[in-house]
Structure 1
Amino acid sequence: MPDAKIFYGWYIVGACFLLCFLFAGAGFYSFSIFIEPIEKQFGWNRAAISLTMSIYLVTGGLMGPVHGRLIGRFGPRRVMLVCAVGAGACFVLVSLTRWLWYFYLVYALLAATVCGMGVVPVSSLLSNWFDRRRGTATGIALVGISAGGLLLAPMVGLVTAVWGWQTSFVIIGLMVWCIALPVVFFVIRDRPDQLGLVPEGGGRSVYGQAEAGGQTDFQALGRPAGEVLRTRAFWCIFLSFFLAPMAQMGVLQHQVPLIMDTGMSHAYASVALGVTAGVGGLGKLSFGKMADIWPFQYVILLCFGLQILSVLFLLTTQTPAGVWVYAVCFGFSMGGVIVLLPLVVGHFWGLLSYGVLLGVLWVANAFGGATGTFVSGLVYDWTGSYNNALYLFAAAYLVAIAAFFAAGRPGRASGPASF
Structure 2
Amino acid sequence: MPEMLRLVKTLKINTRNIRVLLSGFLILFIVSGVCYYGFGVFFKHIQEEFGWGRGVISTAFLTFCLVFAFFSPIIGKLIDRYGARNVILIGSFLLGSGLILLSITTNLQQFYMAYGIVGLGGSGCGLVSVSSLISEWFSKRRGTALGLVTSGMGIGGLFMPIIIGNFLIPCFGWRTAYQILGLLTIAIITLILMKALPSRGRPRSGNPQYTNAPPTKSIKEEVLKSALRKSTFWLIVCAYILFEIAETGTVQHLVIRLIDVGFPEAMATFVFSFIGLFNVIGRFLFGYISDRLAIKFCAIISFSSGLVATTLLMAIIAPSNLLLIYLFILAMGLTVGSWAPITSMLISTYFEAARYGTVFGAFSLFFFVSSGVGPALFGYIYDAVHNYNPAYILSLTFYSIAIILISSLPRQNQS
- The reply to whether TM is greater than 0.5 is yes
Tell me what 1:6 maps to. Answer: 13
Q: C-alpha separation between the residues in 2 aligned to 1:311 and 1:64?
A: 30
User: How many residues are aligned here?
Assistant: 397
Find the aligned partners of 1:409 and 1:193 in 2 and give their Cα distance.
Answer: 40
Please tell me the residue identity of whatever aligns with 1:398.
S
RMSD: 2.9
Residues of 2 paired with 1:233 and 1:128: CA distance?
32
Cα shift at 1:124: 4.5
Cα 1:180–1:285, aligned 2, differ >3 Å: closer, same or farther? farther
User: Which TM-score applies when normalising by structure 1?
Assistant: 0.85
Q: How many angstroms apart in 2 are the aligned matches of 1:257 and 1:107?
A: 20
Superimposed CA distance per residue, residues 240-267 of structure 1 (whole angstroms, 9 cap, x where no aligned partner):
2211111110000000022223321111
| Rounded Cα–Cα distance in structure 2 between residues aligned with 1:401 and 1:126 | 33
Give 1:30's match in structure 2, choosing from 8, 25, 38: 38
Task: Please list every run of 5 or more consecutive structure 2 residues that lacks an aligned counterpart in the other structure.
Answer: 1-8
User: Which residue does 1:161 correspond to in 2?
Assistant: 170
The separation in 1 between residues aligned to 2:328 and 2:115, in whole angstroms, is 30
- Kept in 2, the 8 Å contact 1:65–1:356? The answer is no
**TM superposition shift of 1:171:** 1.4
Name the counterpart of 1:145: 153
Structure-2 separation of matches of 1:267 and 1:31 = 15
Q: CA deviation at 1:287?
A: 1.9
Change (3 A) 1:117 1:404: farther
1:391 maps to which residue? 393
Q: 1:120 to 1:154 in 2, by over 3 A?
A: same
**In 2, distance between residues paired with 1:366 and 1:66?**
15
Amino acid at match of 2:55: A
Matched with 1:178 is: 187
- Residue equivalent to 1:335: 337
Q: 1:133 to 1:53 in 2, by over 3 A?
A: same
State the one-letter code of the partner of 2:239: S
- Tell me which moved more, 246-255 or 228-237: 228-237
Aligned partners of 1:77 and 1:190 also within 8 Å = no
- Name the aligned partner's letter for residue 255 of structure 2: V
Match of 1:269 in 2: 268
Q: Which residue matches 2:74?
A: 66
- Does 1:309 pair with 2:308? yes
Which secondary structure does the structure 2 equivalent of 1:120 belong to? helix
Shift of 1:301: 1.7
Q: Residues of 2 paired with 1:193 and 1:292: CA distance? A: 31
Residue 18 and residue 345 in structure 1: after superposition, are their counterparts in 2 closer, same or farther (change >3 A)? Answer: farther
> Aligned to 1:122, what secondary structure does the other structure show?
helix
Work out which of the residue numbers 39, 44, 66 in structure 1 matches 2:47.
39
- Post-superposition Cα deviations, 1:254-301, rounded to whole Å, max 9, x if no partner, equal 000222233211111011111111221111222223334433222212
Query: Per-residue displacement from partner, 1:8-39 (whole Å, max 9, x unpaired)?
Result: 65654332221211121100211111111111
Partner Cα distance (1:384, 1:57) in 2: 25
Structure 1 letter corresponding to 2:396: A
Match of 1:366 among 365, 368, 371: 368
Look up the SS of the partner of 1:385 in the other structure. Answer: coil
Shift in alpha-carbon separation, 1:64–1:230, aligned structure 2, 3 A: farther
Describe how 1:184-223 pairs up with structure 2 within 5 A: 184-185=193-194, 186-187=196-197, 192-194=202-204, 198=207, 204-205=208-209, 207-211=210-214
2:123 aligns with: 115
CA distance in 2, matches of 1:177, 1:70: 20
**Using the alignment, how far apart are the partners of 1:192 and 1:407 within structure 2?**
40
Corresponding letter in the other structure for 2:265: H
Cα pair distance change 1:292/1:139, threshold 3 Å:
farther
The answer to whether the 8 Å contact 2:296/2:409 transfers is: no
How far residue 401 of structure 1 moved from its aligned partner, in angstroms, is 2.7
Local SS of the residue matching 2:414: helix
DSSP 3-state at the match of 1:171: helix
Deviation at 1:406, TM superposition (A): 3.1
In the TM superposition, residue 127 of structure 1 has moved relative to its aligned partner by: 5.2
In 1: Cα distance, 2:40 partner to 2:213 partner: 41
The answer to whether the Cα contact below 8 Å between 1:75 and 1:190 also exists between their aligned partners in 2 is no
8 Å CA contact retained: 1:160, 1:168: yes
Is 1:380 aligned with 2:388?
A: no
Deviations 1:71-129 (A, max 9, x none): 34444333222212211121111111111100001101110111222233334544566
Mapped contact 2:102–2:111 kept (Cα < 8 A) = yes
Q: Which residue of 1 aligns with 2:61?
A: 53
Find the aligned partners of 1:275 and 1:192 in 2 and give their Cα distance.
37
Q: Measured at CA, do residues 16 and 304 of structure 1 come closer, stay the same or move farther in structure 2, by a change above 3 Å?
A: farther
Q: 1:229 to 1:116 in 2, by over 3 A?
A: farther
5+ residue gaps, structure 1? 199-203, 414-419
State TM-score, norm by structure 2.
Answer: 0.86
Distance in 2, Cα, partners of 1:316 & 1:34: 25
- Matches of 1:77 and 1:237, distance apart in 2: 33
Give the equivalent residue in structure 1 for 2:324: 322
Give the deviation of 1:131 after TM superposition: 7.2
Gap change, CA 1:133 and 1:264, over 3 Å in 2: same
